Every structure is written in C-alpha cells, then in structure tokens.
Structure 1
C-alpha cells in the first residue's frame, strides 16, 4: 500500500462510487489511513469533478475534498479485460463501495455472489436510493428524495409555508457517514471471525430516518404529530429560536431542560421572571412559549451579538453566533481544534478528519487531483501487471492514464 499512516492503514478499499454518498464514505475511511482506490470510467470520470465551483487551478473544490487521500484509477470494468483487472483489485481488498442503481452490478456479472467468489471476506457496501429490496428498489433516487422520505423536509421550515430542504446534501452526506460505520462493523465481524464478507445495504433515506429518530416514537408513543415549527424546538418542548441582534448578526439559543431554560430566561429577563412557578417543568415553558420568544428576541435586539452572547454565557445559558463560512475560517476555537486543514502549495482548505483520535489521528495527505487515472499505472504495477500488459490495456481503452 502507499501509506502506513492511521488506524486503517491495513485496509484497502475499492470505491466504485460516484457523486456524493459513496465518495463520502471512501473519504471518511481514507482520512484514517485506508488505501482507497477510486475507480472512474476512462474518458469520463466522476460527475463530482464538475459539480462545484472551481479552485484557482481549475479543479472542482468538491472533488478536491471528496477525492482526498485517494488513488485514482480509470478502468472500464464492464469489459472482459477490465473485469480481470477489477478481480485482481478485489482479491486484494477488504471493502468495496458502490452506489449504482440496484441491478447495475448484476447485469455486468458482478453480483455480490461473484465478488464473494473472488474474495469471500470482502465487505460490499451498496448504497442506493431505496435499498436493494422492497417495492421501490428499482426506482432512481437522489439525496433530496431521501430528505423527503425520511421526514426531514416535512419537519423543516415554517408551519404556514412549504417544506424545506437543508442547505447541504444532508441525505447523501449522512449516508456516506452511515456507510463507513456499516463497513467498519462488517469488517470487525470478518476480523473477529464471527462472519465472513457480507453486504451492507443502505438506502439514502435511512440514515436521516435513523438520526432524526424521535419523530416515529413521538407519533406512535405519544400520539403527537411532528410538523414544521419554524425556528422553535420540535413540538415547542423547550425554548429555542434564532434572533437578530442590534448589529445585524444572528444568534441561536436553545435549552434541553427546565433548568437550562430558566438560565435563558434569567439572562434575558432577570431572576424574577425565571423563578416563576410554571418554569419548573418543561410543560410550563410550552404554555408560555410565545411570550418567551418575544421577550428573548427583544432582549437580543437591544444588544450587539457578542455582547448578548457574553450575557448568556455569564448565566451559563446556551447561545451561539450563527456563522457564515468566513466566521468559521476566522474562529480561534475552530483553529485551535485543527478543524480546517490544507496541503502545501494549494490555497484550497477543507474540513479535517473527524473525530479526533489521540493516538492514531486522521490526516489529510493530499487533495483530490485533476488527472483522470492519475494512479492507474502505479496501481496496476503494484498489483502485478507488467509494463507491456499496462500499455496494452491503455491502448485498448480499458484503462485510462495521463498522457495515454
């Protein structure tokens, strides 16, 4: 392998994904040392390359972060020769990630049964819009459909207006995260001897469905709907909201209990208001929520944002500035945590590995590179192909490489 850094440095991953969900899974594993070999079609490449703004060097910034730390191979794996190349890669890997529509691999003769013939311990991560089973399995599905089906869009926005999608691809990104989690569990099962290679089947709507979580028990257990509630907490169970300060900046406040709610009230309206009997329980907050929101909003409007936050902090109440990206890049706490990283010679910065491991931390080794098949030759050499075989594969168009 090309590196021995990180807790996953003994894990090789074949990424046959495209756009966001599968590449996110591969990137998360690569952050912690996995040798991720990303396969793209010769002459075409991953659509992700052109889906975002371009950096000064002309490379898409989304590509730079989601193709980070990965070795790039351009391979027509549907051809007979390409299938043999893929087989050799699979035989020497622990994980394969794909996010094609169900049936694509099967029609190419690469069903899980075939892949497991090649490598019985292989963990196959399959990401699709609706999963590999069920009446909608064959439907095309993108992230927004997942955000809709999970309930996220229905719960986001104001009650008197349309449902809203979040400002980032929440379904795709959380699916990438859950896919990496599933891959690690399945790999542990292999390494512990409790199971050989298996299929991790993940529909794009399922990670959000699981992470939202409370809407299903709220409806089934308490008999309550979970609807759009503007800037308030779900079902208005505790004080929350976003308010504009005197200097035009925005502040978000929240509480998770009666005690933390009383701290907000004391900061914004004094100890006498916070000590009123109804605020000893969350139910009391629910009844007075309109007044609470109005008074907190009026308090914040009288102060510059940082001054208001300082007052809330003095009362041990939770309040935070609503950051734009420039605030993120300038924040000393984020800098002290090492959350924004880059590589020498490239102005593009990306979010660093999460979470932080004190003994085997993740690391950004390189950003996604522009050349399609940048590592095709070196990877094939590593896997036993000689220069003549590689040249023949390149000449036939089965493999793509720079200057080929």
Structure 2
C-alpha cells in the first residue's frame, strides 16, 4: 500500500481479526458452541427462502425492532430500539452521531480491542482511564475520569471484554449524572451474567442520554447472523437513522433474526449450561494456582504467565485455540461444551507440566486442599 494515498492514521495498521484456525476446539472468540436445532434451521430456511429479494428491504426494520423491544421488555417499544449488522455497526452509528472530529470517547482499560478502531474510523479521539487492579470500575474512578477528560461519549462495558467484569447500576447512575455527553453501556454478554446482576435497561426511562447495546451473536448462538442492537430514547434512535447507510440491514438478515427471536427460549436454553461450565472452570483454574478475573460473561480471563504466547502455542499444538488478549501475562478462554472444557483442561495440564509453570498446583494436590 506504499504507493496509495492512504489516510495517515491507517499507515502500518493491520485489519482486526482473531485467528480463524481449523482446530478441534475453538475457544477464542466467545461464540455459543451449541448449533441451532434441525427444527429451527428449517424455520430459518423457510424465512430466508423468499424475503422479497427483488425489492429493497424495510430500511427501518420496523418488525424486527418490534420483536427486539418485546424481547427486552422494560416497557420498550420499536421507537426505543435500533438494529444493525452486529454491535460493531451499532457502535459505529453511535460514534458517527455523537462522536466525530473534535469529540472524544472515553472508556476504561483493558477493554474491547475494537473500541479504538470504531473511534479511529469515525475520527473520534479515543481516551482511556485504567481500571482498578481487580479490573472493576467504581464511582470514584468514573467521577475522576469524567472530570479530567469531559468525554462526549462515555463507554462502560458490562460485562467487560476481555475481563468479564460487570459495572453496578449505582456506577451507571453516577456516570449518567456526571458525564456531559452520552453514556453507552455495552451489554453484549449480559445474558450470561450471574444471578442478580441487573441490566442498565432498567435505567433508560430516567436518563435520556443513556444507551444500552446488545448483540444476538453470543447468547442467541447467532454470530453468523450478524445482528446487534441498542435500546435508548427515541431521539437516539433517530440520530442513528440519520447516519446509517440506506437499506443497511438486508431482508434476509431481518427475516432470519425474527425467526431467532421467535425461538428465543430454545436458543437461550444453553445459557445456564454455559454459565455452569464457566463457573466450574473459574474454580478449577484457581485450584491450579492461577489468577482468574471474576466474570459475568461466557469467557474467563486467567494468568499470569511470564510467557503467555508460549502457553497459547502449547494449547494450540494440542488442538485447543484460545485468545491471547488483554493485559500482559493473561489469556482468555471461552466457555464451551463439557467436552471442549475437558479438552482445554487436559491440554493446559500438559502445557503446565511441560513448561514447569511457577506456582502450578497439580490437580490431585488441589483436590486435597
């Protein structure tokens, strides 16, 4: 690209993307491992068979937004919901509308690795403040960061990626009170939160500058469908309608997403199983002497390793793909099926013994403790 008149800020940049490798156990991108049932696939096939492809789709996606509002509850209607091609496009719409040249977005690091790219692509200045050592975000931290940076968009990720950490509703309320601009709570993993973890959806009626974003990729096992959405005041939805591209959601996407929502109980039925696997894995890793972040998501951040790349490669050599992401010394593994989790544990034991990891507690000794 050296001979192309590329934007200066793109020079030397690499496209985003986690490794997509053909290995027996892919536990690196937080997908739901349970595929749709044959009955659901048949319903999806019927919906996609003739969605009127010779005509442009409903550019407002009204029926889909109505279904999404019904799923979310909290008294929301279609006027409170916006949908796009994954939460990536939702976030881009928000920064196109409320960020941009001369404006800033602030979040708390470590957090989702795509956030700075959303900011870059919308000419929004990207700012971060460090999380607490346990990866939490509290009221004092928010208050101090807002006072220092005065962000146009304050982005709170709950549960956070890659740490799995949730933000309390008290902190979200405080953020809405002190932030001068928009407050966006990214709840991509909210369905996996531990019992009693509330959603910021309950605060929307009180705070017109609050936005809650969600996705169907994770809990709905719909990553291939590419459907993200937000809930907010109607004025926020109208702002997104201004910046969206014409007919941004295909007729097929809308039709298939509506089928998925109609089968929500079936698709969400594995969420409890994934929570159980996640919690069992947290306990097992801690029993092995590793540090583990408290998590409300469908993944676990664990460490700390002097050479995390070597651990990652050792797992990959044994057919287990996880993610080398987050703070130095940490790795992230997605919650999977019992078979996948057993394969991960077996591989990690082998790697730990081969590398003689400091502080590693063999399973028999850990079981006696």
Q: Which has the larger radius of gyration?
A: 1
Q: Considering the TM-score relative to the shorter chain, is it more than 0.5? A: no
RCO higher in 1 or 2 (8 Å CA, sep ≥ 6)? 2
Relative to the length of structure 2, the TM-score reads: 0.23
Relative to the length of structure 1, the TM-score reads: 0.22
